[in-house]
Amino acid sequence: MSTEATVILDGVGIKRALTRIAHEILERNKGVTDLVLVGIRTGGIHLARELASRLEEIEGVKIPVGSVDITLYRDDIKTQAAHLPVGKTEIPFSTEGKRVVLVDDVLFTGRTIRAAMDAMMDHGRPQYIQLAVLIDRGHRELPIRADFVGRNVPTSRKENIQVRFDSGDHPVEVFLEKN
């Protein structure tokens, strides 16, 4: 199988996109009151931290960041040949009545987001949940859309999009692989 990788967003582009999303989050929610970020393992957690540090720069307030692992909520669990390792879910604050922004790196079928929302509901009843993603590549299989998008990238199903992070978990680039 030959793979060909194209960089579709570089480090500077990612930074600009995240800064814009941070402003949009503040605008839509009219500030940071009751705002919490929850990243979906593992790429989403790194991006949620990046967003939190931008929000802090802008508003001067620390935003709580949690992480959610969706392995136990997957809808393909019955067809897995062997069950996947389970990651840690860490939400060290109450989400009751909070404005939750779920963060993921790539939005594809929407199945991960469905699982993450179910997981969030088991932790309490938020006021609402919004979704922020760095890349929306289309091909939705569920009625789910993102509230904040870094970049829309039309793809074919055979292609693969990945966000690469450096050793300090900072996003470096987004590349597209054609298989």
- Residue 102 has φ and ψ, to the nearest 5°, of -80, 140
The contact mask relative to other proteins for 4-43 (x = CB under 8 A, - = no) is: ----------------------------------------
Closest distance to other proteins from the beta carbon of 98 (Å): 14
Residue 88 as a binder of other proteins (CB under 8 A): the answer is yes
Task: Identify the DSSP state of 40.
Answer: E
Residue 142 as a binder of other proteins (CB under 8 A): the answer is no
Among positions 73, 117, 132, 174, the unique one binding other proteins when judged by CB under 8 A? 73
Instruction: Please name the residues in contact with 96: beta carbons below 8 A apart, sequence gap of 6 or more.
Output: 124, 125, 126
Among positions 2, 4, 60, 85, the unique one binding other proteins when judged by CB under 8 A? 85
DSSP codes joined into one string, 66-104: EEE--GGG-TTGGG-SSPPPP---B--S--TT-EEEEEE
* Residue 80 vs 152, nearer CB to other proteins: 80
CA torsion sign for 156, 158, 159, 165 is positive
* Residue 59 vs 90, nearer CB to other proteins: 90
Closest distance to other proteins from the beta carbon of 117 (Å): 13
Percentage helix, strand, coil, to 5, in the chain? 30, 30, 40
Among positions 34, 118, 147, 159, the unique one binding other proteins when judged by CB under 8 A? 118
Map tokens 């509230």 to a residue: 147
Among positions 16, 28, 62, 83, the unique one binding other proteins when judged by CB under 8 A? 83
Residues in the chain: 179
Where along the sequence are the contacts to other proteins (CB under 8 A)?
69, 72-73, 77-90, 118-119, 121-124
